[in-house]
Amino acid sequence: MLSNWQALIAYLQTAMACEQVEQFRILFLDIKNNLIADEVQQRGTVNHTPVYPREVVKRALILNASALIVVHNHPSGDSKPSRDDIEMTRELKAAAQALGIELHDHVVVGHGNHASFRSLGLL
């Protein structure tokens, strides 16, 4: 189902673009980048959801994940990453990397649009 970038984005748009509150989702991947699990870790408010790098990495270790793609939506529809999004992603990347887990990307989903941290040079 998530065999390429376009399929991933279509899936995320369907799952998250119309949510009324922010949702932080994690795609856990094995060593061959096969999907182990897709989990909503947090739900927040219209413009914020708390993310705890410790909890993300803890769950990745439990699932024996080798890599992660993290995703959240912006209910406003604008997929531009905020300063808080960028800082949290840096913290998450550092925590994961310390334990040998690769953070492949952080995708922000808007209404019919998305932003990839990797594509934007933020990872």
pLDDT along the chain (123 residues), means of 10: 81 90 95 94 86 95 97 93 94 97 96 94 92
pLDDT for the residue numbered 2 = 64
Q: Are 22 and 59 in contact (CB under 8 A)?
A: no
* Tokens 């932080």, residue located: 24
According to CATH, what is the number of the domain 5-116? 3.40.140.10
3-state secondary structure of 122: coil
pLDDT for the residue numbered 88 = 95
pLDDT for the residue numbered 46 = 84
Domain range list for the chain: 5-116
pLDDT for the residue numbered 9 = 92
